[in-house]
Amino acid sequence: MEPNDRQSAPSAEEVLESYERYVRDLDDFCAKLREKYWEALNCRPGCVTCCSRELTVFPIEAARIRRHISGFGAVRREQLRARLAESNASVEAAPCPLLYRGRCLVYPARPLLCRTEGYVLAHRDPDTHGWRVTACPKNFEKLDLASEIPAPDLINLESLNQSLAVLNHAYVKASGWRGEERVRLSEVGSP
């Protein structure tokens, strides 16, 4: 292969497109779970149990949220920036700054963690090094998660986080990101 024939590294935009595909695949999987377990899922619009704290996200997730915010009208964008600045100045533990009147202001662009809340999650237990299966206590109340939810219906957090980390690394490299490794949600309104 000649040097000029080498594939160039993906652009930040191409990595964001890969992330978008990954999100769509996750959303499709979650839609199938919602259909299959609709009786066991008590999460509904207006439920904010999982929105009780501010999160940090990877730069690629912050970029997607910023892109979504850029589609807001000027007045709405400024209102959101003011709300985020107020939240950023607060020293008290507060709910997610993107939560307003029981609704997520950036729901279509919400981070992966928010997309998986409420479903049955599998992750490594740091104490036993075995697998731990958890879900929001409001969901799956009548099911034994470990024995009644088949493995294909679990969201594997180890795999999800590994894929997210790979995409984020490629985005950071392609975009020339110079910020922190994680971005507070109250900071996503600033460029």
115-163 tens-digit pLDDT? 999 999 999 988 888 889 999 989 999 888 888 999 999 999 999 999 9
More confident call, 26 vs 7: 26
Chain mean pLDDT for the chain: 88
What's the rounded Cα separation, in Å, for the pair 101 and 55?
18
Q: pLDDT-derived band of residue 9, with 50, 70 and 90 as boundaries?
A: confident
Identify whether the C-beta of residue 177 lies closer than 8 Å to the C-beta of residue 15: no
Residue 101 clears pLDDT 50, i.e. is over it: yes
The pair phi, psi for residue 182, each rounded to 5°, is -130, 150
pLDDT for position 5: 45
